[in-house]
Amino acid sequence: MKKLNITWEGIEDPTGYLFSFAKSLAAVVKNSPYADLFEDIIATSGFAFRMWVDGGGLCPSATSIWSFGDQKRWVENGGLLCGYVERMWGEDAVEKERRDEAIAMIKESIDSGVGVVAWDISGCEWGVVTGYNDEEAILYTLKINGNEDKVSYENLGKMEIPILSVLAVRGKVDRPQEETTEGMLAIARAHLNGEEWCDNAKGFAAYEALISFIKEKLTDDMWNLEYYLGTYAGLKLYALKYFEKYGMAEWVEKYRIVYGEWKAAFDLKRTKNAGEEAVRAELAAHLERACEAERAAFAK
């Protein structure tokens, strides 16, 4: 048996809805030998720039429908070496093989003192594997709401949404910061321009879908919008943090607007009646200004 002491302490989440994959990854990195990268990695992996929107009904699952298999490549852009194991729908023939591989990788990572990011630990959300117990055949987990839990080896990848997706951080690569930044912006631009896979509206098109929904379909009792605004406001903060840290003044100027408008929209939704036409118009205006600033940032 081995269990690490990993918490959400120090992971800034200004809305309480920071995207669970990004939050879990940051916590793993913060509680590792690579802690200097724990905030950077949300930006350098491209997740600070990603948006997906279900324009039909704002289903929250849209925020977790993306190319899971690319996460290793994206995270490694930030200077971390990763191990990754995946088993998607329709791959039942390799379910046990991939699960055994994932458990072996988890144990190796825990033994080295580093937690592991895993899908569906938190009920259709990402979470952190913090330890294991071979005698009981269980994994110790940290859920996105801060609760600790246990998952049997057998149930890994077979819970509410039966997909196996496990990412372990295994090391660090030294490279010029300029190279990491260039890679980050290339990943971000590809997403914003709709080049990454997803069945939902993505990138700049996600703005359009969300703004249209607010104007045409939003009612006051739709908590889903708060989830979306909180998720993406939190991510935009980490883009701003990165640009501030590395003195990228032109980007800082734009992303202060981007983050500020998303956060203002989130605060407005929490405090005003979104069933009122004036409130919906103000919500849409915040996102229109955010979109304009983000487009201007990537127009260069």
pLDDT digits (tens, 9 = 90+) for 260-282: 999 999 999 999 999 899 999 99
Domain that holds residue 17: 1-38+80-172
pLDDT tens-digit readout, 247-260? 999 999 999 999 99
Report the mean per-residue pLDDT for the chain: 95
- Tell me whether residue 257 is in a domain: yes
Tell whether 4 and 153 lie within a shared domain.
Answer: yes
Q: What share of the chain is helix, strand, coil (3-state, %, to 5)?
A: 50, 15, 35
Instruction: Name the token pair of 142.
Output: 């940290």
- Tell me whether residue 268 is in a domain: yes
Share of the chain above pLDDT 90, in %: 85
pLDDT tens-digit readout, 165-212? 999 999 999 999 999 999 999 999 999 999 999 889 999 999 999 999
Instruction: Name the token pair of 39.
Output: 């905030």
Residue 60 or residue 27, greater confidence: 27
Largest CA distance in the chain: 60
pLDDT computed for residue 184 by the predictor:
98
Write the DSSP symbol of residue 47: G
pLDDT computed for residue 95 by the predictor:
85
- Tell me whether residue 242 is in a domain: yes
CA distance from start to end of the chain: 52
Contact assessment for residue 23 and residue 144, using Cβ atoms and an 8 Å cutoff:
yes
Last residue of a domain, one of 124, 144, 172: 172
- Tell me whether residue 72 is in a domain: no
Statement: residue 220 has pLDDT above 90: no
Tell whether 158 and 291 lie within a shared domain.
Answer: no
Tell whether 55 and 131 lie within a shared domain.
Answer: no
Tell whether 221 and 295 lie within a shared domain.
Answer: yes
Burial class (CB in 10 A: 0-12, 13-18, 19+), 40: buried
pLDDT tens-digit readout, 95-153? 899 999 999 999 999 999 999 999 988 888 999 999 999 999 999 999 999 999 999 99
Residue that is written with structure tokens 């793993």 in the block: 28
Last residue of a domain, one of 143, 172, 201: 172
pLDDT computed for residue 221 by the predictor:
77
Residue that is written with structure tokens 């971000």 in the block: 188
pLDDT tens-digit readout, 68-97? 999 999 999 999 999 999 998 778 888 899
Tell whether 242 and 157 lie within a shared domain.
Answer: no
Distance CA 267, CA 158 (A): 36
Confidence at 64, pLDDT banded by 50, 70, 90: confident
Tell whether 223 and 118 lie within a shared domain.
Answer: no
Tell whether 166 and 180 lie within a shared domain.
Answer: no
Q: Which of 153, 43, 62, 168 is nearest to 115 (CA)?
A: 168
Number of domains in the chain: 2
Last residue of a domain, one of 150, 172, 194: 172
pTM: 0.96
Tell whether 115 and 256 lie within a shared domain.
Answer: no
Query: Mean pLDDT throughout 52-77?
Result: 92
Query: Mean pLDDT throughout 63-71?
Result: 90
Tell whether 114 and 201 lie within a shared domain.
Answer: no
Tell whether 130 and 262 lie within a shared domain.
Answer: no
Confidence at 161, pLDDT banded by 50, 70, 90: confident
Tell whether 13 and 101 lie within a shared domain.
Answer: yes
